[in-house]
Amino acid sequence: MLLPLAVGGAAVLSAVALRHRSKNKGKMTSKRQLVFDKAMNSKLPPSDLEKLADGFKKEGLLEQAEALLKRAKLRALPKDIKDKRRKIYKDALKLKNPEQVNKIADAFQKEGATGAAKSLKDYAAGLPRK
């Protein structure tokens, strides 16, 4: 399965196949990791992320497939919900209690917003503990 990936706003054709050989089924090879990372950090539409998730699932990479499906669901959210999530994120960056920030980060992580979760965790790590 060859997949086009949009990275950093520019369309880049990635001729990286999910299927190398049957001996790689269930293994996260470096090529697969590259495809996964680019997809998670790209602006691909939900339908493309869902197709990619299906390919990972067929190859036995269920954790990656689930992450891609969560990302697709986030991208498909209505604008008003995205705006509310953005406000929650920005408000969390104003909090001074690291436990509160980490709870919000965990919620973002569970929903597939890995970048937001990571930045909130990093912010919480820099806050003084009580």
**Annotated domain spans of the chain:** 2-75, 79-125
Whether pTM exceeds 0.75: no
Task: State the pLDDT at residue 91.
Answer: 97
Low-confidence residues in the chain, pLDDT < 70? 1-22, 130
Please give the pLDDT value at position 129: 83
pLDDT of residue 10: 27
Which pLDDT does position 22 carry in this prediction? 57
Q: HSE on the CB side for 41, CA within 13 Å?
A: 10
